[in-house]
Amino acid sequence: MTVSKLPNRIFIKLLLGFWFCSSLIIAIVGLLPLLQQNHDRAPLPPHLERMLTRVANNISERLISDPQTINTSRLKRLTHLRDRNDKPVRFYIVDHQGRVINSHKVSRGLRRFMLMSDEVDRPMTHQFKSELIFGPYKFNAAGEQYSIYGRLADHHPRPWFFFFAENKLLTLGLAIILSGLLCGLLAWHLGKPLRTLKLTADSLAAGDLANRVDKSTTKRKDEIGQLALAFNSMADSVENMVHSQQRLISDISHELRTPLTRLQLALALARKKGQDTAETQRIGYEAEQLEQMIAELLELSRVKLNIHDTKHLVSLNETLSQVLDDADFEAAQQGKVLVIDIDDAISLPTNPRPLARAIENLLRNAIRYAEQQISITAQSSEKEVTITIADDGPGIENEQDLKAVFDPFYRPQTARERESGGWGLGLAITKAAIDAHQGEIVADNLTPHGLRVTIKLPS
């Protein structure tokens, strides 16, 4: 498979994503002081400049005609006006030594503004929290140089970035949240298809060989899309191989039945002619055993091939009624007791025949090895139905056998004898049937002795 040459590989996405997030934070932190500085040094609006000029001209004329005006209360009246919105404007006269000559009370904002204007060396405005200060306008009067500043003691709208510039912790928190959202979006974009791949892999591991990664993931042009395509291709190959193997077992089992039938027919003819010897009886017995093994192989293959058959909501008692009756009769014939505790209200989606065969295999094993009593119970919850089959037999000594006992052709060491151990296909058929219902089956030993098999099926 060729690697995509488009510039949207995961490396590029990760690089651009984190680069963009870090660049955004740096830009926010860096631009706010710059925006504030540019606003602090904004040029003087024409209407404010005209006000400063008019006041300066009035003061200059008054000082020329009466130099003592600088020390009179009339100068204070000249520096109290109203703007075009009829708001009071206060003006401050500053001499060449930087002293305010028309007021003894100077706000901290005005002192700060005077320092700011000295750095700029031109008229400007600045909006403080509760006042707008503008100026200076320089003029000469009576041989002296003066500067005039204006002050609007009112709250004026300030640009949005002033709020963030003055609340640095809040700005930093918002930048972190924004970068987190962007990184989260990137992580979701990369993590969603990976979660889809994981769920598909889990389904395949659970036996759902038909499950595939969705098209939205396979259509991606990055490495994840290529991985999804490769994963689906692998799943196709695995499904074909497993189905081929199961069909091969089924076909071989069918083909073996033909010569087996001929063998049994030949034996019947020989017996009819009076040729019934110990050898022919042994051949007949082995032929019957072989036929039973082929039947179980066909059953195992059939259960695995039909694992995705449609299931119907059926009462558990109804599904197992015939199996329980037969097991109760078989236990009674051997002088043993079968205790049944299954509520009639328990229902679950099942394929009745495989489930009944699974429970039948477990009950027969329990009856075979039990000393006196066998029990089968069923409990239902919101999500699952739990079926437990227990006996008071010897159990399984080796702990490893408890896990491997459901594998095909596997028999514990204590059950190697053909008469008691079979071929190791009954429990394999049981597990295949439980897997077909997306359930779980486990075996464990009881104390002081006995074996318990627990089945959990989704309800």
The CATH number given to whatever domain includes residue 447 is 3.30.565.10
Identify the domain containing residue 442 by its residue range: 312-458
In this prediction, residue 305 carries a pLDDT of 62
Task: Write down which residue in 136, 163, 190 finishes a domain.
Answer: 163
Long-range CB contacts for residues 185-189, cutoff 8 Å, separation at least 24: 186/13, 186/14, 186/17, 186/18, 189/13
CATH number for the domain including 120? 3.30.450.210
Task: Write down which residue in 138, 163, 188 finishes a domain.
Answer: 163
In this prediction, residue 16 carries a pLDDT of 73
User: Please, are residues 88 and 80 in contact by the beta-carbon 8 Å criterion?
Assistant: yes
Residue 286: inside a domain: no
Q: What is the pTM of this model?
A: 0.50
Residue 424: inside a domain: yes
In this prediction, residue 4 carries a pLDDT of 46
Residue 18: inside a domain: no
In this prediction, residue 44 carries a pLDDT of 77
Residue 117: inside a domain: yes
Q: Which residues of the chain have pLDDT under 50?
A: 1-4, 6, 415-421
User: Please, are residues 40 and 132 in contact by the beta-carbon 8 Å criterion?
Assistant: no
In this prediction, residue 10 carries a pLDDT of 67
pLDDT digits (tens, 9 = 90+) for 102-115: 777 788 888 888 88
In this prediction, residue 1 carries a pLDDT of 43
Q: How many domains does the chain have?
A: 2
Residue 296: inside a domain: no
Residue 379: inside a domain: yes
Residue 33: inside a domain: no
Task: Write down which residue in 163, 185, 200 finishes a domain.
Answer: 163
Structure tokens at 39: 């606003």
Which residue(s) pair with 337 in the sheet?
373
The burial class, CB within 10 Å (0-12 / 13-18 / 19+), for 11 is: exposed
In this prediction, residue 413 carries a pLDDT of 57
Q: How far apart are CA 434 and CA 456, in angstroms?
A: 8
Cα–Cα distance list, 318 to 355, 361, 384, 391 (Å) = 12, 18, 18, 23
Active site residue 254: yes
Residue 54: inside a domain: yes
Give me the catalytic one of 243, 254, 308, 312: 254
In this prediction, residue 29 carries a pLDDT of 67
In this prediction, residue 390 carries a pLDDT of 93
User: Please, are residues 183 and 19 in contact by the beta-carbon 8 Å criterion?
Assistant: no
